[in-house]
Structure 1
């Protein structure tokens, strides 16, 4: 036995810290099954499975090397217990990730004279994924005001969650808002959801409300923006969004991360009238791409906000940079295209 200094206890050498936390904090397997009801046990082929991260092929060639766990295909019905525990309904994305949003509709945040809509930068989220090792992983991001940050931090820790990043997504703004990323794993998805609900309840995050059947119209030249970025955006509650996923396989502690868990570049445009927009979001990059992206953003007149990681154990190591700009939507899209082209990404399958 060796002493694991990070966990403060005795553990076999090489035991992942997250497994220690999960074993200490998470409840037994749901109804003794170790799986969500109705979930198939065979690991499906992932969309884009031929994409490989650097070093993955070498691990696969070595029988002694840990093999990556694959996410299992699930349906919305499989996650009903999670929805009940959270008091909110999400949806399965790309067949494998149950994603739930928690917009901070209670906040009135102003940055550089612009009132920030929740869909632009003020929506917490959680992404649940069931793996073929019978573990559920939840990753996500909580939006908290400064007065809530320490309380939310303590609640996450009390329920076995790791914080993997704490930073800002906006430049000068009132009130002060922070974003904290989290990660937890365990055999009981509902217990994970209960821990997350406790963290949400430590903040003033409001309860869920039904989304309008039809999103509001966009005062943007979306066709020209789509042409500039080479893909079609989505009207997400009045915010026009684009997403670009990493082409290579990304893992975290030997579990393959689908892009819907947050391993994406996101460009979000909030209409300001007359075709103008405020744009915010973040780029996902490997180390060798960082400087090219930062240079492209600045050359396009965009402000850079943060450079950081969202995870602790990802492979390849990924970095994220948040940005901001206000201009004609098409002008912004053309500037962002240069930065997108500096990364090995593509619209999700």
Structure 2
């Protein structure tokens, strides 16, 4: 009996006892015309494993909160991630929109067959107010990319990427001490020092493992933007199980960190997750200790 290459891969998977989804996903990743997706979205992705993540920062906006001018990488970094799945690709994303942009963008997304999984705030008191639309979909990658593009065209989100006029500013914080307190290594990102903290438990959506967790938006994200004199503005979101929500709220409030939003981002993820956003502007080391106390209430990795 004649066997295809997929048959032989399946036999090898069974003999080796490896998860078949990983092999199928990798094989399909090689079949995706990523150049066409890149061209449709007008930018290059950050690639992690089989996930291609495209950033849509709101560099057109000047948003202030409590006297701090927010850098796009602190809280205005919209994105869409593509992961090969089930003969096509699944997408997940988080788009940053002004209030007047929500309904026009949503209408285009509905017409294009995309799912809206959440619309909400992440911050309080910001001027202008920003909202965050979480989206999902599955299908042909190029078709999905076109749907995202035409939908975002209903907003003022920059759809072309301008060459940077100057290198990003240095992060004027004791990053080595922040790393030590947080228990993970941070990364400079557009003048912001960013931490990504995965959970210990695997996360799936629609039966598909969401990995790598950082690019798929299901790892705790913590960002520090220097505000001078060793101080930093912090924001991000904790990824929590239901029983972790109130212990984390208590830990944040005990350390003078404001809880600004609590909500879901997805519709049928397993396990059920909640996302908690926060804000403070204070001594960076003090805030890191408070954030670490909150992380200690969760099933998150350390070290």
Q: TM-score, normalised by structure 2?
A: 0.88
Matched, 1:217 2:170: yes
Q: Which deviations, in whole Å up to 9, do the C-alpha atoms of 1:208-231 show, x marking residues without a partner?
A: 123579542111111111111111
- Do residues 184 (structure 1) and 117 (structure 2) align? no
1:143 match: secondary structure: strand
**RMSD in angstroms over aligned alpha carbons?**
2.5
Cα drift, residue 300 of structure 1: 1.1
Alignment of 1:64-143 (within 5 A): 69-70=21-22, 72-73=25-26, 74=29, 79-93=34-48, 95-131=49-85, 133-143=86-96
Relative distance call for 1:212 and 1:257 in structure 2 (3 A) is: farther
Moved over 4 A (4+): 41-45, 67-71, 74-78, 211-214
Separation in 2 of the partners of 1:143 and 1:300? 28
> Who is 1:282 aligned against?
237
Query: Counterpart of 1:208?
Result: 161
Match of 2:5 in 1: none
2:110 equivalent in structure 1? 157
Deviation at 1:68, TM superposition (A): 9.0
Q: Which residue of 1 aligns with 2:283?
A: 328
CA 1:166/1:299 → structure 2, altered by over 3 Å: closer, same or farther? same
User: Which residue pairs with 1:295 in the alignment?
Assistant: 250
Shift of 1:91: 2.1
Structure 1 position 289, deviation (Å) = 0.8
Matched residue SS, 1:246: coil
Separation (CA, whole Å) in 2 of partners of 1:76 and 1:100: 19
| Equivalent position of 1:238 in the other structure | 191
Return the alpha-carbon distance in structure 1 between the equivalents of residues 236 and 20 of structure 2.
29
Alignment-derived partner of residue 269 in structure 1: 224
Contact 1:119–1:239 at 8 Å: present in 2 too? Answer: yes
- The aligned runs of 1:16-31 (5 Å cut-off) are none
Helix, strand or coil at the partner of 1:173: coil
Q: Is the 8 A contact 1:68 1:251 kept in 2?
A: no
Could you tell me how far apart the structure 2 residues matched to 1:151 and 1:90 are? Answer: 26
Q: In 2 relative to 1, CA 76–233 (structure 1 residues): closer, same or farther, beyond 3 Å?
A: farther
Distance 1:246 1:337 in 2: 14
Decide whether the 8 Å contact of 1:86 with 1:193 is kept in 2.
Answer: yes
**Residues of 2 paired with 1:42 and 1:91: CA distance?**
28
Q: 1:139 & 1:242 partners in 2: Cα distance?
A: 20
Over 3 Å counting, the alpha-carbon distance change for 1:237 and 1:347 in structure 2 is farther
Contact 1:249 / 1:256 at 8 angstroms: preserved in 2? Answer: yes
Distance 1:90 1:347, change over 3 A: farther
Q: Secondary structure at the match of 1:298?
A: helix
| C-alpha spacing 1:79/1:163, structure 2 compared with 1 (3 Å) | same
Q: What stretches of structure 1 of length at least 5 have no aligned partner? A: 1-40, 51-66
Unaligned runs of 5+ residues in structure 2 are: 1-7
Distance 1:86 1:336, change over 3 A: same
1:89-131 deviation per Cα after TM superposition (whole angstroms, max 9, x unaligned): 11211x1210010110111111112111111001110000002
Residue 76 of structure 1 and its aligned partner are, at CA, apart by 12
Greater alpha carbon shift after TM alignment, 287-296 vs 208-217: 208-217
Name the count of aligned residue pairs.
286
**1:271 touches 1:278 (CA, 8 Å); kept in 2?**
yes
The answer to whether the 8 A contact 1:215-1:235 is kept is no
Contact 2:32 2:141 in 1 (8 A): no
